Amino acid sequence: MSFSRESKEEILKTDLEDDTCAIAFMSGLFHSCGQIQKTGAKIYLKIVSDVEKLFGFCEKLIKKLYGDDVEIEVGDNYSINKNTYYEVKFEVEKFRQLLLDTGMIDIVGGEISFNFHIDKNLLFDDQTRRSFIKGVYIGSSTSSIKLSTGGAQSCGSGYHMEFSSQSHQFLLEFSEILAEYNIIGKIFERKNSFVLYIKDVNTIQDLLALMGANKSVLDLSNEIVTRELRNKVNRQVNCINANINKTVEASMKQVDAINTIINTIGLESLPDDLQEVAVLRLANQEESLDELLKLSTIKLTRSGLNHRFRKLIKIASTLEE
């Protein structure tokens, strides 16, 4: 299961404080993923989501608010890119009071019109604002965050969360609500819709904490630590590999120089100190300078040993010329 869906299901496990919070939640849900549909003479406001548990949650809320005789209409399920989506319809006439309470419709002169602006009167305190944010999050948020599992390396390269909508005005108003909690996102247009996105991982954690998704906050914190540790290990491994490659290249260059000397003037023509380091290198071609120092019978510093190898390379170069 994706991180996004797990966080949504976690939110659905928590109860809303009271009826005003339930209405604020439904308002956020309708605004974020509601679609108007006309079938014959009937007009519906339908919601579509890949979170199956959402609809049992909504049914429980609606029955609590408007009585057990209110039944929501479940549409056909369908799949897109291996994800199953669920559809629930709310007939406007049948759910007139719910849609009025959530600020989704206005009635003027007996005529019903849809309202696409957020009704700020519903969000009169901290709890109702948080409930509205929960509804929007469950209705329209997506995330690229993928958690590392079983020690396997995560496929994700960053932290990205976004809210999409056909209404630019809705996202502007929603971003203002988030800004009250210092959660700042940016809005841009993508094809035929608009997107409010958040890329700062700390801001994403703040948003999850605001909605009470504490386990998701912890999972994300663990993922941050895991990625930082993995990156640190990768840097260390890369550094070690680079040093190994550097050692091997230097050793090969030294061995080639020594072989050139052997095949031309012979090692016996060299001073004793150069003969010793030449023999030492030939006998230990894969060792680093530090390891050669431990094997040497003469007292040398690392700089001194390196200096002697440079002399051997210079001699070989002269001989080659």
As a whole number of angstroms, the distance between CA 240 and CA 162 comes to: 39
**pLDDT of the residue at 65:** 84
> pLDDT of 200-217, one tens digit each?
899 999 999 999 999 999
Measure the CA–CA gap between 321 and 1, rounded to whole angstroms: 68
Quick one: CA dihedral 186, 54, 216, 102, positive or negative? Answer: positive
How far apart are alpha carbons 196 and 186 in whole angstroms?
A: 5
If one compares 109 and 11, the residue with the highest pLDDT of the two is 11
pLDDT band at 60 (very low <50, low <70, confident <90, very high): confident
**Beta carbons of 249 and 257 less than 8 angstroms apart:** no
- Give tens-digit pLDDT for 244-258: 888 888 888 888 888
193 vs 68, more confident: 193
> Which stretch of 89-103, 117-131, 148-162 has the lowest confidence by average pLDDT?
148-162
pLDDT grade for 127, boundaries at 50, 70 and 90:
very high
Residue 186 forms beta bridges with which residues?
197
Positive or negative, the Cα torsion across 127, 128, 132, 133?
A: negative
Rg (alpha carbons) of the chain, rounded to whole number? 34
> What is the pLDDT, as a whole number, of residue 7?
92
The DSSP secondary structure of 282-313, one letter per residue, reads HH-TT--HHHHHHH-SS---HHHHHHHHHHHH
Name every residue whose Cβ is closer than 8 Å to that of residue 229 and which is 6 or more positions away in sequence: none
- 78 and 64 Cβ atoms separated by less than 8 Å: no
Mean pLDDT of 11-36: 89
pLDDT-based confidence at residue 196 (cuts at 50, 70, 90): very high
pLDDT band at 174 (very low <50, low <70, confident <90, very high): very high
Contacts of 101 (CB under 8 A, 6+ apart): 23, 65
What fold characterizes domain 3-212?
A: Endonuclease I-creI (3.10.28)
Asked whether 155 and 49 are in contact (CB, 8 A), the reply is: no
Which pair of tokens denotes residue 63?
């029955």
Cα distance between residue 279 and residue 283, in whole Å: 6
Mean pLDDT of 181-209: 91
In angstroms, the CA 52 to CA 49 distance is 7
Contact 28, 136 (CB under 8 A): yes
To the nearest 10 degrees (0 to 180), the angle between helices 302-320 and 214-264 is: 50
Q: How confident is the model at residue 75 (pLDDT cuts 50, 70, 90)?
A: low
Average pLDDT for the chain: 85
Residue 10 confidence (pLDDT)? 92
Quick check: 74 pLDDT over 80?
no
The secondary element (H helix, E strand) that includes residue 1 is none
Residue ranges covered by each domain of the chain: 3-212, 245-320
- pLDDT of 187 higher than 60: yes
pLDDT score, position 321: 75
Q: How confident is the model at residue 138 (pLDDT cuts 50, 70, 90)?
A: very high
Eight-class DSSP state of 120: G
Q: Which amino acid appears at position 222 of this protein? A: N
Looking at residues 34-38, what average pLDDT do you find? 81
* Residue percentage of the chain with pLDDT more than 70: 93
In this structure, the number of other CB atoms found within 10 A of the CB of residue 214 comes to 12
314 φ/ψ angles, rounded to the nearest 5 degrees: -65, -40
Over 171-196, what HEC string results? HHHHHHHHHCCCCCCEEEEECCEEEE
